[in-house]
Structure 1
Amino acid sequence: MVEMIKLNAEAREEFGKGAARRIRRAHKIPAVMYVNGGEPKHITLPGHESMLALRQANALLSIQLPDGTEQLALPKQVQRHPVTNNLEHVDLLMVFRGERVTVQIPVIITGEPEGEVLINTERTEITVKAEATNIPAHIAVSIAGLDVGAQILVGDVVLPDDVELDDDAEALVVSINAAASVEDMLETAEGEEAPAEEEEPVEGDTEE
């Protein structure tokens, strides 16, 4: 399951692009915590610790607020610099123990199929509902021993206890296809390298 990570937050009094740049220069991250039916909380988070925490999908954060209270939160949206990939802003969603949340869980393909085949992965995530403090870190999908033509659909994936599917059960996760033979690859390569035939000019009347 996803590990809970503690972060100490500070109150944010300044807003706007200039204020956000000053916060980032101080090695902190501007953030907003949202809660259904409540006022959002504007905070700053420690830069390095937040970067490490948000490497994990669906990181469960225990935010220590400036008033001394503790609030659980999940990342809602993470903005990164397009070049450096550094964190620039984080939106968090407040959650509570016992609350069921909808999240996308990474899919990890495990095992080896039979023979020389091609593995075609269509889905890298599956949407599920789970208790906020009991979110799977990933879902393993085994293709061990599968042969050509085998398919695994979203509905075939075995989920952990108390985790409910909230996705299209008929969507394809992974399929096992026949690998191209050496002869097929050579024929394809020869076809790509063959020069195009020149078209002969068509005789006809010409205007002078």
Structure 2
Amino acid sequence: MSETYELKAEARETVGKGSARELRRNGKVPAVIYGDKQTPLAIALPYKELYYKIHGGAFKTTIATIDVGGKKIQVLPKDYQLDPVRDFPVHVDFLRVSKNTVVTVNIPVHFLNEEKSPGIKRGGVLNIVRHDIEAHVPANKIPDFIEVDLTGKEIGDSIHVSAVTLPEGVEPTITDRDFTIATIAAPAVLLSEDEEAAEADDTAKDEAEDEKGEE
């Protein structure tokens, strides 16, 4: 789990588009804290700190503490909007969390030991079906990533979620099937050779049938 961090915020007395625009002109970002059966709390955060947190990675899987006028609230970022042109944050939604809170997050997948995969050594290509896995996880146990070991994987092999050791408390949201995370695909050259072999085989069969017909 990524190291938690703290942000200082101000409570917002007014909300709406006009208020939000004024905040942004003053170098702040409007945000809302909701959940835990409490009234949503409108806040304003410093733009610069928030920008670096969002673009620093693992923003939506890291618990944060927001200090609002001396009151500290543990939260998990659930969503944020970026300006489509300049890529800076324009709004953030935070979920209140506690040690008993279970959240739904997308956990990145990291692939290990490509050099120990015979299939990849032979030119096979790692075809990533899922770059992350959506899962239910206790808020205080969100892993930074899920590891998939490629040791021994051959061309044509598929890696399903059942073959992966998931961190404690991680339960995939998809439960009705053993979904695929990645496959080791044949290299384009090998595919081309197989196609040529199949075409040659078809040609040989056609010629044999022609000769038989002539007889």
**CA 1:158/1:80 → structure 2, altered by over 3 Å: closer, same or farther?**
same
Matches within 5 A, 1:44-55: 44-55=44-55
Q: Which residue of the partner structure matches residue 147 of structure 2? A: 140
Q: 1:90 aligns with which of 89, 92, 111?
A: 92
Shift of 1:139: 1.0
Q: Which residue of the partner structure matches residue 130 of structure 1? A: 137
Normalising to structure 1: TM-score of the pair? 0.81
1:79-105 CA-partner distances (Å, limit 9, x unpaired): 001111100000111101232222111
Secondary structure of 1:140 counterpart: strand
Over the aligned positions, Cα root-mean-square deviation in angstroms equals 2.1
**Which structure 1 segments of 5+ residues have no match?**
189-208
Normalising to structure 2: TM-score of the pair? 0.79
**Which structure 2 segments of 5+ residues have no match?**
197-215
Q: Which residue of the partner structure matches residue 74 of structure 1? A: 76
**CA 1:119/1:10 → structure 2, altered by over 3 Å: closer, same or farther?**
same
Note if contact 2:23-2:29 (Cα within 8 Å) is conserved in structure 1. yes
Greater fraction of residues in helix: 2
Shift of 1:2: 2.0
**CA 1:140/1:83 → structure 2, altered by over 3 Å: closer, same or farther?**
same
**CA 1:152/1:183 → structure 2, altered by over 3 Å: closer, same or farther?**
closer
Q: Which runs of 4+ in 1 moved over 3 A?
A: none
Q: Which residue of the partner structure matches residue 116 of structure 1? A: 123
CA distance in 1, matches of 2:100, 2:185: 42
1:107-149 CA-partner distances (Å, limit 9, x unpaired): 1122212221011111011122222122101112121331111
Q: Which residue of the partner structure matches residue 166 of structure 1? A: 173
1:8-47 CA-partner distances (Å, limit 9, x unpaired): 0101123222221111122211000011422100001111
Matches within 5 A, 1:143-158: 143-158=150-165
Q: Which residue of the partner structure matches residue 108 of structure 2? A: 106
Q: Which residue of the partner structure matches residue 61 of structure 1? A: 64
CA distance in 1, matches of 2:190, 2:174: 39
Shift of 1:53: 1.9
